[in-house]
Amino acid sequence: MENMEEVSFQMIAAIGEARSKIMQAMDFANEEDFELAQASLNQAKEKLVVAHDSHFNIIQQEASGKEVKLQLLFVHAEDQLMTTSMLKDVAEQFVKVYQKMSKLN
């Protein structure tokens, strides 16, 4: 098993990149650049997959009977994963709203 601290930091790094791309997507949507907004969301999704895969790997290890020692850093990484996943969902809706508003002008 990989070092839990290393996995946690890998997750946090990927999630941080995803969060930045999500915020960038909302900025692009606000500027009515919907192509770049979607591209940023797609990049964010790729980073979230990296974090999710690391997370799932730990879950699989525990499910297979290996002892996994829970660390606060990993709990923090999980929290960041969940909040950033929710932010992505909200940002996707924001982009749709901005697109509808753009058509009204």
Residues with catalytic function: 76
In one-letter notation, the amino acid at residue 59 is I
**Cα–Cα distance list, 20 to 47, 63, 92 (Å):** 11, 32, 14
Tokens 């919907």 found at: 34
Q: What is the largest CA-CA distance in the chain?
A: 59
Tell me which amino acid residue 28 is.
Answer: F
Q: What is residue 3's three-state secondary structure?
A: coil
